[in-house]
Amino acid sequence: MESDNTPIKKTNYIFITGGVLSSLGKGITSSSLGLLLKQRGYSVTIMKLDPYINVDPGTMNPFQHGEVYVTDDGAETDLDLGHYERFIDQSLTKRNNTTTGQIYFSVIQKERRGHYLGKTVQVIPHITDEIKAQIKTFDGQFDFVLIEIGGTVGDIESLPFLEASRQILLKERHNALSIHLTYVPYIKSSGELKTKPTQHSVKMLMEFGIMPDILVCRTENKISKDERSKIALFCNVDEESVIEGIDVDHTIYEVPLQYAKSHFDEIVLNKLNMPLNTLELKTWEKFVHKIKFPKNSVTIGLVGKYTKYRDSYKSILEAFIHAGSINDTEVKVEMVDAENITKDNAHEFLSELDGILVGPGFGSRGIEGKINAIKYVRENGIPFFGICLGMQCAVIEFSRNIMGLTDAHSSEFDKESANCVIDLMEEQKKIKNKGGTMRLGAYPCTVLEGTKAFKAYGQKDISERHRHRYELNNEYRDRLVENGMTLSGLSPDGKLVEIIELKDHPWFVGVQFHPELKSRAVYGTPLFINFVKAVLQFHNNKEKY
Ligand code: GLN
């Protein structure tokens, strides 16, 4: 954030909408444009406007919505914020994600306070004014605010967001732009790219009073000059503003390089009368090169219960890509459904893997399978990384199989157990509401010197993001330590255990927090980098025999 005496900037607003289909990669497009502008020396932030009525995605099932991304300031947000942070290497805040639920919540609260006394409260102007106020929250602080509007143009839910952006686009003609992302399908039988869906989508946007300045056309094949002219003519944009968004083969991190080749950022800057400045992409290019041409390859099993929907573990998968590139290693992630793992068949699922990660989660399904998997990797010296619920399962496994507390459990799953080694945090006991009430956001942690965690971080004072209600039960701390577990990270007041590890094992680390949420492209995050390093070593040792 800027200091008080920084001159107020002229902020440019760039709205990004999507048409034809969902899942076209609006998030990656917004992130890539953000990166390109940043690499030209501009300050940038990115917002997501989500049309659903939930106040935030925190109460949604991961199968519905994918991962819930948590910011430093403890907001539970859309997973696109993860892409934004990873690409532009900037921590975002709760102000970067707004939902219809939040907008209405705030308007209704104001109405109750008497803010609109005498008036009929309506979608236009009251809801749209509230949306505009949210969009303007960063005014004067950044050169560019990119606003991604969730959903597809034409959805009933997103209409107020489109209307608010129309008003800003009209009023601030010189510092606001509309970018529309569409799909240009390739029809095999005729060997042609089809532009009609794009024409229809733009037509629909125009019905709402928004004329796109730039079209980004997602396509599998190159768009020819003729096709580009046709799109330009029918969609009322100039030819150079038809940007080809061709599928990339290897990695989403290649997208900004593709867009740079299409002069996407230059066109944006020209339209907003902003100087081009030089574009610095060397570090990014090197990062992408390392992903595309790795020297080694390992396979890590991700044991969890949301394995059928990879977006549920989005940040973990991305953190592996970052950590892999730093270790010159391709990390293949194999999803292992925890529910299938028993004591007897764990070998079948896990013996070929170079490492396993037991992921975060809620609810009891798959818990025993996770515990079985952890027993197997602990006994067989396979590198292990437990995140949040994964760490809690490691403590349960250790308590049951090393300390002989056969009924050890978490009170989340078995309140009757006499040995709840994982228990509800004190402050959680009085909470009744479900939304936004977990221990959320960044908290400091003190790392014990001489541990694997310390080796990874290289320092004592760290800060990581959290999202949980349960925690290692302090009554069992001494016994866990006596039996060989190291409590390698504690909250600064010593009250909460944040990291556990085992000594006589190549790499066995569990964390109560979510390090994956702070993993950035190019830089990665310490524990993932060291885990992949240990996994690679384990893999190479196997090869020798
Ligand atoms: N369900 C566990 C808790 O609330 C773990 C949460 C998680 O894995 N993010 O503490």
436-479: per-residue pLDDT in tens? 889 999 999 999 999 999 999 999 999 999 999 999 999 999 99
In the chain, residues under CATH classification 3.40.50.880 are 294-544
Residues 6+ apart with CB under 8 A from 531: 323, 355, 357, 383, 385, 507, 509
Ligand 1 pocket residue status of 412, Cβ below 6 Å = yes
pLDDT confidence bin for 61, thresholds 50/70/90: confident
Where in the sequence of the chain do the CATH 3.40.50.300 domains occur? 21-176+248-285
Instruction: Report the nearest-CA residue for atom 5 of ligand 1.
Output: 389
Q: Are 87 and 95 in contact (CB under 8 A)?
A: no
pLDDT reported for residue 143: 97
Q: How many C-alpha atoms does 479 have within 13 Å on its Cβ side?
A: 17
Query: Among this protein's residues, is 393 annotated catalytic?
Result: no
Using pLDDT thresholds of 50, 70 and 90, give the confidence band for residue 543: confident
Lookup: tokens for 316: 């973990």
Query: What CATH number is given for 294-544 in this structure?
Result: 3.40.50.880
The CATH number of the structural domain formed by 21-176+248-285 is 3.40.50.300
For atom 6 of ligand 1, the residue with the nearest CA is 468
Which of 311, 364, 316, 299 is CA-nearest to residue 338?
A: 364
- d(CA 419, CA 422) in angstroms, rounded, equals 9
Let me know if 516 is a catalytic residue.
Answer: yes
pTM of the model: 0.95
pLDDT in tens, 96-113: 999 999 999 999 999 999
Residue of 83, 322, 514, 539 with catalytic role: 514
Is 299 strand, coil or helix? strand
Structure tokens at 163: 């209307």
Render pLDDT for 146-191 as a digit per residue (tens, 0 to 9): 999 999 998 999 999 999 999 999 999 899 999 999 999 988 888 8
Pocket test for ligand 1, best of 468, 498, 511, 514 (most atoms within 8 A of CB): 468
- Taking the C-alpha atoms of residue 43 and residue 274, their distance in angstroms, rounded to an integer, is 13
DSSP bridge pairs for 146:
14, 46
Identify the active-site residue in 244, 254, 516, 539: 516
pLDDT value at 434 more than 80? yes
pLDDT (0 to 100) of residue 21:
84
469 C-beta closer than 6 A to ligand 1 = yes
Q: Find the 533 Cα to ligand 1 centroid distance in Å.
A: 26
Q: Report the distance separating Cα 383 and Cα 539, nearest Å.
A: 10
% residues pLDDT > 70 (the chain): 98
Q: Across-strand partners of 467?
A: 440
Say whether pLDDT at 3 is over 70. Answer: no
Residue 217 known to be catalytic:
no
Catalytic-role residue among 217, 388, 393, 445? 388
**305 alpha carbon – ligand 1 mean position (Å):** 13
The 3-state secondary structure of 399-413, one letter per residue: HHHCCCCCCCEECCC
pLDDT at 413 over 70: yes
Confidence (pLDDT) at 4: 56
Query: How far, in Å, from the CA of 97 to the mean position of ligand 1?
Result: 23
